[in-house]
Amino acid sequence: MPSFVHRITKYDPADRDERGGYIGAEDTISDHGPVEAAYLQAIAAFAEDTGIDRLAVREPEIAFLARFGLEPTTDGHGLAGLFPHDLSGFHDGAEVSLSVGLELVRAMLRDNGAWCRLEVEDTFTVHVGWDQYVYVGSDKPCERALARTRALGLFPERLEASPYDADFDEPGVQRPADEGFWARVRWSVAMRHAAMLEEGYLHNASRWHRLTEDTIDAVRARLTPRAQLTVWPDLSADVDAVLASLPDEGPVEFVWEDENGVISSTTVDESEYGELAARVAGARAATALSLTLDERHPLFTAVLPDSDGVLRARWRTEPTPSDRNWAFLKTLHRGQICTGTVTEIADFGVTFVDIGGFTAMINLPELSWRPFVHPSDVVTVGQVISAEILDVDLVCERVPLSLKALREDPMPRFVQRVGQTTNGVVTTLLPFGAVVRVEDGEDGLAGLVHLSELAEGHVDRPEDVVRVGDGLLVKIMDVDVPRRRITLSHLQALPSGER
């Protein structure tokens, strides 16, 4: 931030009590006359000393439910004549001329409803505070501007920093609306999880867009730069039920789609429900959203980066569980070894593992190199395991793991036993042969003895020769590692005189 920061006021610092409160005779009501003009001239003087003629709008906002200004309400939040009716051009990062910047300061001094920071990065700042306190920062001492300010009858006081400096030190990483975000949007729309996009183009102001697989690109193309984006489930087609569910008291945000497909929103309380019902008569769909953060449940959020892909907006969205998942998954990579706790073994065989607040999964083939009947033969609920990450899917928010990747595959070593004769145990009978375990233990490797290799002559069924549990002498004929197959022969294991 700039090194030289001054608070500029019409209040003499000598007229303050020990707490810093003003106790002088100066009228604290905003002045549209000489005082306001003096403020604007002082700011212009600081800009001239700093050598700047353009300013960037940062974190712009308009008044929401309550206004505490002493000035009467003004149409357009004081921005009429500066920006179009839809306020295009008044957004975070927008560059304006010094003259437009001074008119923005005028609107803020009058508390017309619009507010923003005006800045040139690390060079110059103008912040308007409560009761006509203006904070100007510069990377230069601006001695001429200070003298000019005093000559205008104002009081510049040197400060360490402006109390209105941006402070966005919340923990966590802001999710950008990058290609990964839009891939997530497309997937969510295709899966019918999402259908609505809320575009926060100013603080306290938003637009709503319906998303379909065919409209996503068009919606994306007309979004306001650096907008805050919130993805929601679809509206309800039962508008009467939504109206009936409105709370008995307190404000709520009501969003609806009219018969022409136009989506609107308004904030109402119980005193306005009758008027609202008449207003939305004939609407196709609607929803009611609590204004309390804990009771609002969007799917996921993001902030638009600049055209070069860099996220320069300093404001943040309120993170959803999906956003927190995204931030965690960004720390993972394929091949990484992670530790987690088995939380569930599903009936369909997938094992779920908590790896730090996110639920990853192990599919059946990735549990073990060795044969097993049920996943519970390999892992148990509550067991702490280490596994390798096979992939990190940010779109579907999935992380498949492999437990067997951290174990030695016994098959390559077993190749060395090709040609050997060993005793095995029959574990399974199949129409075309018998499965024989050739390693000790229930999870020992097993191979197939084909019908033609069970006995001399023709064999119709394996149970005509052996039963499950029988011991059987076999010769290891082949080990196909890629196909995970071991071929055995009982005939080849017998001495030549016994065949």
**Contact assessment for residue 399 and residue 391, using Cβ atoms and an 8 Å cutoff:** yes
| E runs forming strands in 203-290 | 205-210, 228-232, 252-257, 263-268, 285-290
Cα–Cα distance list, 233 to 26, 230, 284, 333 (Å): 54, 10, 15, 30
**Contact assessment for residue 195 and residue 186, using Cβ atoms and an 8 Å cutoff:** no
Closest by CA position to 487, among listed 448, 451, 453, 431: 448
Distance (Å, whole) CA 499 – CA 491: 6
3-state secondary structure (DSSP) of residue 323:
helix
The burial class, CB within 10 Å (0-12 / 13-18 / 19+), for 416 is exposed
Phi first, then psi: give them for residue 182, nearest 5 degrees.
-70, -30
Q: Give the pLDDT band (50/70/90) at residue 70.
A: very low
**Contact assessment for residue 188 and residue 323, using Cβ atoms and an 8 Å cutoff:** no
**Contact assessment for residue 175 and residue 300, using Cβ atoms and an 8 Å cutoff:** yes
Which residues on neighbouring strands pair with residue 311, listed in sequence order? none
Closest by CA position to 117, among listed 76, 60, 159, 47: 60
3-state secondary structure (DSSP) of residue 292:
coil
Distance (Å, whole) CA 182 – CA 187: 9
Distance (Å, whole) CA 223 – CA 208: 11
For the four alpha carbons of 268, 274, 279 and 285, in that order, the dihedral sign comes to positive
| pLDDT beyond 90 at 66 | no
Distance (Å, whole) CA 233 – CA 196: 6
Distance (Å, whole) CA 83 – CA 391: 48
CA angle 415, 420, 424 (to 5 degrees): 95
Distance (Å, whole) CA 286 – CA 115: 31
Cα–Cα distance list, 487 to 275, 304, 477 (Å): 80, 59, 5
Per-position DSSP letters for 163-175, written without gaps between them: TTS-----SS-PP
Distance (Å, whole) CA 448 – CA 444: 13
Q: Give the pLDDT band (50/70/90) at residue 27.
A: confident
| E runs forming strands in 395-490 | 401-402, 421-430, 433-437, 446-450, 471-480, 485-489
Q: What is the pLDDT of residue 294?
A: 87
Q: Parallel, antiparallel, or unpaired for β 359-362 and 351-354?
A: antiparallel
Q: What is the pLDDT of residue 287?
A: 96
Distance (Å, whole) CA 95 – CA 117: 12
Residue bearing the bigger pLDDT, 373 or 333: 333
Q: What pLDDT digit, counting tens, does each position of 433-457 carry?
A: 999 999 988 778 999 999 999 998 8
| pLDDT beyond 60 at 72 | no
| Low-confidence winner among 66-80, 228-242, 342-356, 473-487 (lowest mean pLDDT) | 66-80
Residues of the chain above pLDDT 90, percent: 81
Distance (Å, whole) CA 443 – CA 360: 25
Q: What pLDDT digit, counting tens, does each position of 115-162 carry?
A: 999 999 999 999 999 877 999 999 999 999 999 999 999 999 999 999
This prediction has a pTM of 0.85
Within 10 angstroms of residue 21's Cβ, the number of other Cβ atoms is 8
Q: What pLDDT digit, counting tens, does each position of 399-438 carry?
A: 999 999 999 999 999 999 999 999 999 999 999 999 999 9
Task: Collect all residues with Cβ–Cβ distance below 8 Å to 160 and sequence separation of at least 6.
Answer: 5
Residue appearing with tokens 């920062």:
137
3-state secondary structure (DSSP) of residue 423:
strand
Closest by CA position to 420, among listed 441, 447, 444, 443: 447
Q: What is the pLDDT of residue 69?
A: 41
Task: Write out the two tokens for 101.
Answer: 């910047």
Phi first, then psi: give them for residue 64, nearest 5 degrees.
-110, -110
Phi first, then psi: give them for residue 80, nearest 5 degrees.
-60, 130
| pLDDT beyond 70 at 497 | no
